[in-house]
């Protein structure tokens, strides 16, 4: 079940120190264009507030 997986993933990532706000999960239907725009606006606003992610990022070179 996707929802249960996301509930635990969000909680677990938060536990190991990746801010819970970075794991965002929701449902959008293909017919909900407006809602989709709202969701993306919300996500970008949340991520912008947190700043760049530097955890679990692999650096080359």
Partner 1 sequence: MENIETKLREEAKRLLLEKKVDVIIGYEKGTLPLTATPCFVTTPEEADNLVWNHLCTQNPVKFVHDLITQHKNAQKRVKPEDRKKKVIGVVARGCATRSLIIQLQERQYERADVYIIGVPCEGYVDGKALKSAIGGVDITEGSIDGDQIKMKTSDGDKAVALKDVLAASCRTCRFNNPIISDTMVGSPAAAMNPDAEYNEVKEFEGKTVEERWAYYSKEMEKCIRCNACRQACPSCYCPTCFAEQSQPQWVGIGEDKTDTQVFQLMRLYHMVGRCVDCGSCVAVCPMGVDLRKFLKKIDKDGWELFGNRAGSSMDDMPPLGKYDEHHDKEDFVFNP
Least Cβ distance, residue 44 to partner 1 (angstroms): 11
17 binds partner 1 (CB under 8 A): yes
Contacts by 20-25, CB closer than 8 A, 24 or more apart:
21/46, 21/47, 21/49, 21/50, 22/46, 22/47, 22/50, 22/53
User: Is residue 53 near partner 1 by the rule CB under 8 A?
Assistant: no
Residue 47 interacts with partner 1 (CB under 8 A): yes or no: no
Q: Which residues bind partner 1 (CB under 8 A)?
A: 1, 3-19, 23-27, 35, 38-39, 41-43, 55-59
């Amino acid at each position: 079940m996707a929802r249960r997986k996301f509930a635990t993933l969000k909680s677990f990532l938060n536990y190991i120190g990746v801010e819970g706000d970075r794991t965002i999960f929701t449902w959008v239907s293909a017919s909900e264009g407006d809602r989709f725009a709202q969701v993306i606006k919300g996500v970008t606003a949340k991520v912008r507030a947190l700043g760049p992610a530097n955890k679990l990022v692999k650096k080359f070179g």
